[in-house]
RNA sequence: CGGGGAGUGGCGCAGCCUGGUAGCGCAUCUGCUUUGGGAGCAGAGGGUCGCAGGUUCGAAUCCUGUCUCCCCGACCA
């Protein structure tokens, strides 16, 4: 991709409305544009990141055996009356009427809809267990949107729903998602702490929130510092993590005797990026979902639901990975693999070398943002650092004369001169 | 929803108190000089000052209403 033909409105100055670093950088790096309180347009570069985050989430859902589908954003109020939530949900739900005066809503979540669909499609125990998910826009009319996409009103969310014949099956479905979540956040370059969440009337340990630790997090988390030592590559990691203490401040304070010795109790701020819970027959019962069991009886399936804030993750990733110059994308979500800077667009040798490198890298399957603008070096370096692509290749007249380019690693800042061939080899390995 | 703040060109701001027909920096466009970490000089374009009423010879400025956005707190992927 040639930057001269792209849309990348970077800003040198920080917009006054943005308070936290991820919001500031998303605006400055030309990823998003606010269109109303808590509602954002995704500019080309931001959309690429959003799609890549969704891809990582999708890959781990698929690996865990969940099945992708897509439900609409607009739902009928009737559906929500079946569960009783149309009246219970409160002003957070955006209610609208169609031309016929029918009550509709912009979905804040999809339990009712998936339960109704499953109810109408599935009649036999043979079709269970199943876990279905979709990645779709949601709307919650937050009292106070803030922190950019971290607490927007419109947001992209992956929500999955499991259906099982019995408690043991439900627990297995839950465990599979728990593991999938650990893998997902690790693949995004994040370390997430699973925090036990209140389960309401069901009890047990079947609800967890996943928090990314960051000073700008909205919640306060207490946890056993032994969590830091758990190797996520270890197959027993999920079990180990679930046995270690971790609670949100509000819950922690209710506990008389904390099971963690004071010297091991860590307190950090966290960004909630995922929440999973098992709620049994709450919706299946209300919506009349029943399947016939092997013995001919009618059974009400047990359900769980599993959310990941896809758009929120973009903010969380930036909070966790940036420096003074800008964003540092993990390779798994970076909008492009490589930023290619031509320092002298007017120099035929430089232009030829830069275009050749771009072509070769793209032919090898790497995505490249080639800064071929007629601008000075300093501006190009600053732009590249701001948008945070993992690798930068700098093509300049001195290097080209000597047959070399400069390769820079964004995360460490280290750079060195190397032949074009060796840079190609390194980046396409 | 309570408390506070702000709306002036794409971004950051000044002007408002003490009304006289809009200004600065960045960005943008043109030309020349430059070219390895956000260049210099010269010139140019772009704003019904959130909106609606009112006061006045005259309103960005004063008055009233209204909309929007931001911050702090209580609530949430």
Give the domains, in start order, of chain A with CATH numbers. 3-71+110-323 (3.30.930.10), 338-427 (3.40.50.800)
* Protein residue closest via CA to C1' of B37: A378
What pLDDT score was predicted for residue A256?
Answer: 75
Tell which residue, A271, A246, A270, A241, has the closest CA to residue A258. Answer: A246
pLDDT < 50 positions in chain A = none
Distant-in-sequence, close-in-space partners of A326: CB < 8 Å, separation ≥ 6: A25, A28, A29, A385, A386, A387, A388
Partners of A303 in beta bridges: A163, A280
* Whether A57 CB is under 7 Å from strand B: no
**Structure tokens that stand for A153 in this block:** 């009103």
Q: Enter the tokens of residue A12.
A: 């040198």
Q: What is the pLDDT of residue A323?
A: 95
Neighbours of A97 (CB within 10 A): 11
The answer to whether A113 and A75 are in contact (CB under 8 A) is yes
Nearest nucleotide by C1' from A140 CA? B76
Q: Which nucleotides of B are covered by protein (CB under 7 A)?
A: 1-2, 10-13, 25-27, 34-39, 68-77
- With CA of A309 and C1' of each nucleotide, the nearest comes out as B77
Q: Which candidate, A216, A88, A195, A230, places its Cα nearest to that of A150?
A: A216
3-class DSSP assignment, residue A334: coil
Cα–Cα distance for residue pair A133/A65, rounded to 1 Å: 10
ipTM of this predicted complex?
0.93
Residue A404 tokens, joined: 């070399």
pLDDT value, residue A204: 62
Give the closest nucleotide to A23 (alpha carbon vs C1'). B70
**Cβ of residue A219 lies below 7 Å from strand B:** yes
How many other C-beta atoms are found inside a 10 Å radius of the C-beta of residue A215? 10
- Strands (E) located in A109-249: 130-139, 154-164, 192-196, 207-213, 219-224, 246-248
Q: Could you tell me how far CA A261 lies from the centroid of its own chain?
A: 33
Q: Which of A198, A271, A193 is nearest to A225 (CA)?
A: A193
Spacing of A10 CA from B24 C1' in Å:
22
For chain A, state the CA radius of gyration. Answer: 24
For residues A217, A222, A225, A230, the Cα torsion angle rounded to the nearest 10 degrees is: -70
| Residue A144: count of CB within 10 angstroms of its CB | 8
Q: Mean pLDDT score of chain A, rounded to an integer?
A: 93
- Tokens 């389960």 map to which residue? A199
A224 contact partners, CB below 8 Å, separation of at least 6: A244, A245, A246, A260, A264, A265, A266
User: How distant, in Å, are the alpha carbons of A32, A38, A150, A318, A333 from that of A49?
Assistant: 11, 19, 15, 11, 6
As a rounded value in angstroms, the CA-to-C1' distance for A313 and B40 is 43
């Amino acid at each position: 991709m040639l930057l001269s033909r792209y849309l990348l409105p970077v800003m040198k100055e920080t917009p006054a409305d943005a308070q936290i670093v991820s919001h500031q950088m998303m605006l400055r790096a030309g990823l998003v544009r606010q269109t109303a309180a808590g509602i954002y347009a995704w500019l080309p570069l931001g959309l690429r990141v959003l799609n890549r985050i969704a891809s990582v989430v999708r890959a781990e859902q698929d690996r865990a055996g969940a099945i992708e589908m897509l439900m609409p954003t607009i739902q009928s109020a009737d559906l929500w009356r079946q569960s009783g939530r149309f009246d219970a949900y409160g002003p957070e739900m955006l209610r609208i009427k169609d031309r016929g005066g029918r009550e509709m809503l912009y979905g804040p979540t999809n339990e009712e809809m998936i339960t109704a669909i499953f109810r109408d499609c599935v009649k036999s125990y043979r079709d269970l267990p199943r876990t279905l998910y979709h990645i779709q826009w949601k709307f919650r009319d937050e009292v106070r949107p803030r922190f950019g996409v971290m607490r927007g009103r419109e947001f992209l969310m992956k929500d999955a729903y499991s259906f099982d014949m019995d408690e043991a099956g439900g627990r297995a479905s839950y465990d599979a998602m728990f593991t999938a979540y650990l893998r997902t956040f690790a693949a995004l370059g994040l370390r997430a702490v699973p925090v036990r969440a209140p389960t309401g009337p069901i009890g047990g340990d079947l609800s967890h929130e996943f928090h990314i630790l960051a000073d700008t997090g909205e919640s306060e988390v207490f946890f056993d510092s032994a969590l830091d030592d758990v190797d996520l590559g270890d197959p027993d990691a999920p079990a180990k993590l679930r046995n270690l203490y971790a609670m949100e401040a509000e819950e922690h304070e209710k506990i008389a005797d904390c099971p963690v010795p004071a010297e091991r109790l860590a307190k950090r701020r966290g960004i909630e990026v995922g929440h999973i819970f098992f709620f049994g027959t709450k919706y299946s019962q209300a919506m009349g979902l029943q399947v016939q069991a092997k013995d001919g009886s009618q059974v009400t399936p047990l359900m769980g639901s599993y959310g990941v804030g896809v758009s929120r993750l973009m903010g969380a990733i930036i909070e966790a990975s940036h420096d003074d110059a800008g964003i540092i994308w993990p390779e798994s979500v970076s909008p492009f693999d490589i930023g290619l800077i031509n320092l002298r667009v007017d120099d035929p040798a430089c232009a030829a070398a830069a275009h050749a490198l771009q072509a070769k890298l793209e032919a090898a399957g790497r995505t490249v943002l080639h800064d071929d603008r007629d601008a000075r070096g300093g501006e190009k370096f600053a732009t590249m650092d701001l948008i945070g692509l993992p690798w930068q290749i700098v093509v300049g007249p001195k290097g080209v004369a000597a047959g070399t380019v400069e390769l820079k690693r964004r995360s460490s800042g280290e750079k060195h001169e190397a032949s074009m061939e060796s840079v190609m080899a390194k980046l396409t390995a």
